[in-house]
Structure 1
Amino acid sequence: MAKIHPFKAVRPTRDKVSLVASRSYQSYTQSEREARLDYNPFSFLHIVNPGYRYHKEISGKERYGLVRNRYLEFKEDGTFVQDESPCFYIYRVVNREKRVFTGIVAAASTEDYKNNVIKKHEDTIEYREQIFKDYLKTVGFNAEPVLLTYPDSDVISNILKKYTNTRAEFEFTTTYRDTHYLWLVEDQNDIKAIQDEFTQMEAIYIADGHHRSASSYLLSEDCENDASVKESYQSFMSYLIPESELCISEFNRLVKDLNGLSKEQFLLKLDQMYRIENRGHEWYKPSKKHHFSMYLDGEFYSLYLRKTHYNFTNSLSELDTHILYITILKPILGITDLRNDDRIDYGYDKHNVIEMKNRIDSGEFAVGFGLVPVNVDEMKRISDEGLVMPPKSTYIEPKLRSGVTIYEF
């Protein structure tokens, strides 16, 4: 039984939303960030990078306090205004490939997170949880929703269609050529119908934002016995999207060396677990589970797992990112820490085969592996069994802009 709630979002005014909205801070190159900070005084980047006006990097608690100050300045200047009544927010993204994502921005329950009604498929790192918890407690808002996915529902779909056939409150196109739309759901009957439909769901799943949800839960635990704290700490902003609209892409793996092996020795070791076919200069991408592509020394290879040599014991053992780790990365190439070993790197998107080839041809890396994307059912099975995917198993879309809806504590 999943619980979601409407909330009073703090939002940019309609005339400034396209100027305020930003991608995540880390996704910009330094030159891109500086251009936006220099020439766009309304960018949300000014809030999350408050030291820019002083031409210095500021970190830790000092930064948190300045982020809070910049946020309050945006409110004082009238760039941000809070809605008068709690709403659900229908958010649609139409990307440059004309793929459409339509979901609901709502407050999800930290109690549901605690009780595994909101299910996880990734491990989180404790120190990152603590850092972001302290950040949230100081700044008093959350501007980037956790991406959750739910089973497709005709009831919810019909309500969304009713609103998306009307004029949007916000409509803006980014330099990425993605178009973003926002509608407000203020009608109490529609709000109740959406909530009632979610109470029929046994579970909803985190698609992206494991650290943000974990930190929000820790914050709610900190504030549980403090009578002065608002109920808003018991929830976190989420973007709920039906499973059928979730888009999952693969992360390819690149490794800097062959762990002291010659090319011939490496291929012989691979042959123990894989049927190998040299594809020469033919561009090759795998199309089936347990099939992998490999680029090595100017040539593409297809690798087919020898299933008679491998034991499938649970959902994790069937996951291609885990299979690659267990059969190649760890035993042959000596990669034991997928998060922190600087010998391995990751790449995603439809052009990544080109980038992988270029980075290997340049000598930066020695070998690269391509995989078939994880699907929603695999992700759910991992979560249902209480298992954890290897890092960088999924690149999930849509990616929302920060600063379009803000959840205030």
Structure 2
Amino acid sequence: MVKIIPFKAVRPRRAMAGLVASRPYEEYNEAELRARLDYNPYSFLHILNPGYKFQHKITGKDRFQLVKNRYLEFKEEDTFIQDEKPSFYIYRMETRDLSCCGIIAAASAADYKKGVIKRHEDTIESREVLFKDYLKTVGFNTEPVLLTYKDDEALQSLLNEIMQEIPEYEFATRQREMHYLWKVDDEEKIEAISAFFSKMEKIYIADGHHRCASSYLLSEENAKKNNGHTGKESYNNFMSYFISESNLKIYEFSRLVKDLNGYSKEEFLMLLDEHFRIENRGLQVFKPAEKHHFSMYLDGEFYALYLRKTSYDFSGTLSSLDPCILYEKVLRPVLGIKDLRNDERIAYIPGKKDILELKGKVDSGAYTVGFGMMPLNISEIKKVADEGLTMPPKSTYIEPKLRSGLTIYEF
């Protein structure tokens, strides 16, 4: 049984929603970030980048308390309000690449512990603890974990009915995106939505594994410190965006490697030939259209790599995934990259970006070789999660990426 919990969101006043909402922090380059901070005093970026007020860049734990201070200032200035009744929030986003809608609500940390909320990626303990400490200091969360469930026509019909009403927010962005948010505080509709999820046996993390793990750690820590713990406290839950599988957009990550691990180009190609049929495409851009096909860009030329299946043992779920194949047959044994998270010789580009960006990074000399592959599908992701396995780092890049600052969950 999946728990979905309404909460009293802190959120911008209606007239300020479009000004407050910001893209994920890491999507801004330095010039764009400075422009937003210089000319938009309501941007949520002022909270996420609190040192800007003092013209000083602050990182690490020193930043946490200042984030909280900026957040409290926004509340004191009435930029934010808090809803009086626990609510669900239906959020719809339309971009050039996708159109999606889902439910912003709280998920249960206990569901994560019990395995009702299933994961498919490993997390790094140090990052879990760091973000847990961040949440503990600031006392709020504005980045929902992306949770996905099997499509349900009846549930979608109810959401469509709600979206016929006038939205709480409706605004466009300079990226030609449209954003809509509906507040659902009617008790009958809340119970109806909750009932749909109570019939589900499991739900899957699509994006936000570290946020999910950190929220669970915080719930455990607070429960131990609270002698009057009841299980109903807000710290027992974490903000999530519940979205059906058909609303997801799944991309791959391309890999970039700085050198050929001491091999010449000719030696490197000969080593690849053991496991791949290689076609030199020259200047013709090649993007894989099938599983177990890979693109490679090296020394100004594109190559198509086709896995020789007679030389590869598909011994389990993970072994059939393209990120695993590339790691097991190229990155680790040939290029000497064992730690995909921490090795400074490897970098990643989301597959939604043009392959010419990968070409440009290699042509610039910053990297020597780049690899591309097909994105995984939701069935593969769910199978890995159901079997209790974890994929290699940077196996998937999943959208939507929600705007920060539209709904805030306080602990």
State the TM-score bracket (shorter-chain normalisation): over 0.9
How far off is 1:26 after superposition?
A: 2.0
Aligned to 1:391: 393
Work out whether residues 270 and 328 of structure 1, in 8 Å CA contact, stay in contact via their aligned partners in 2. yes
How far off is 1:295 after superposition?
A: 1.2
Counterpart CA distance in 1 for 2:353 and 2:219 is 41
Residues 348-363 of structure 1: pairs in structure 2 closer than 5 A: 348-363=350-365
Counterpart CA distance in 2 for 1:22 and 1:323 is 37
How far off is 1:244 after superposition?
A: 0.9
How far off is 1:362 after superposition?
A: 2.2
What is the identity, as a one-letter code, of the residue corresponding to 2:85? S
Is it true that 1:13 corresponds to 2:8 in the alignment? no
Please give the per-residue CA displacement for 1:146-204, whole angstroms capped at 9, x wherever unaligned.
00100111221011100112221101112221111000112212111111111111110
Q: How many residues align?
A: 408
Is it true that 1:379 corresponds to 2:378 in the alignment? no
How far off is 1:137 after superposition?
A: 1.1
How far off is 1:124 after superposition?
A: 0.8
How far off is 1:352 after superposition?
A: 2.9
Q: Select the residue among 367, 370, 375 that pairs with 2:369.
A: 367
Aligned to 1:104: 103
Work out whether residues 21 and 44 of structure 2, in 8 Å CA contact, stay in contact via their aligned partners in 1. yes
Equivalent position SS for 2:15:
coil
Aligned to 1:162: 161
Is it true that 1:35 corresponds to 2:32 in the alignment? no
Is it true that 1:223 corresponds to 2:225 in the alignment? no
Equivalent position SS for 1:285:
coil
Aligned to 1:345: 347
How far off is 1:256 after superposition?
A: 1.3
Residues 2-401 of structure 1: pairs in structure 2 closer than 5 A: 2-97=2-97, 99-225=98-224, 226-227=226-227, 231-401=233-403
Work out whether residues 252 and 352 of structure 1, in 8 Å CA contact, stay in contact via their aligned partners in 2. no
Counterpart CA distance in 1 for 2:193 and 2:357 is 43
Equivalent position SS for 1:15:
helix
Summarize the Cα distance change of 1:363–1:350 in structure 2 as closer, same or farther, 3 Å threshold: same
Q: TM-score, normalised by structure 1?
A: 0.97
Counterpart CA distance in 2 for 1:342 and 1:365 is 11
Equivalent position SS for 2:90:
strand
Counterpart CA distance in 2 for 1:50 and 1:283 is 43
Counterpart CA distance in 2 for 1:64 and 1:221 is 21
Work out whether residues 14 and 168 of structure 2, in 8 Å CA contact, stay in contact via their aligned partners in 1. yes
Counterpart CA distance in 1 for 2:266 and 2:41 is 57
Counterpart CA distance in 1 for 2:90 and 2:39 is 30
How far off is 1:317 after superposition?
A: 0.7
Summarize the Cα distance change of 1:280–1:61 in structure 2 as closer, same or farther, 3 Å threshold: closer
How far off is 1:96 after superposition?
A: 2.2
Equivalent position SS for 1:275:
strand
How far off is 1:120 after superposition?
A: 0.6
Counterpart CA distance in 1 for 2:130 and 2:236 is 18
How far off is 1:350 after superposition?
A: 3.8
Equivalent position SS for 2:14:
coil
Equivalent position SS for 2:166:
coil
Counterpart CA distance in 2 for 1:359 and 1:53 is 34
What is the identity, as a one-letter code, of the residue corresponding to 1:2? V
Counterpart CA distance in 2 for 1:191 and 1:121 is 29
What is the identity, as a one-letter code, of the residue corresponding to 2:95? N
Counterpart CA distance in 2 for 1:349 and 1:251 is 5
- Of 212-221 and 356-365, deviating more is 356-365
What is the identity, as a one-letter code, of the residue corresponding to 1:21? A
Equivalent position SS for 1:168:
coil
Counterpart CA distance in 1 for 2:101 and 2:353 is 25
Please give the per-residue CA displacement for 1:251-271, whole angstroms capped at 9, x wherever unaligned.
111111111111111111111
Counterpart CA distance in 2 for 1:54 and 1:298 is 46
Please give the per-residue CA displacement for 1:84-106, whole angstroms capped at 9, x wherever unaligned.
10111000010024x21100001
Q: TM-score, normalised by structure 2?
A: 0.97
Work out whether residues 50 and 66 of structure 1, in 8 Å CA contact, stay in contact via their aligned partners in 2. yes
Unpaired runs of 5+ residues, structure 2, are none
Unpaired runs of 5+ residues, structure 1, are none
Work out whether residues 88 and 185 of structure 2, in 8 Å CA contact, stay in contact via their aligned partners in 1. yes
Counterpart CA distance in 2 for 1:84 and 1:289 is 50
Equivalent position SS for 1:372:
coil
Equivalent position SS for 2:155:
helix
Q: Percent identity?
A: 62
Work out whether residues 24 and 401 of structure 2, in 8 Å CA contact, stay in contact via their aligned partners in 1. no
Please give the per-residue CA displacement for 1:54-103, whole angstroms capped at 9, x wherever unaligned.
11123444422221121111111111000010111000010024x21100
How far off is 1:228 after superposition?
A: 5.7
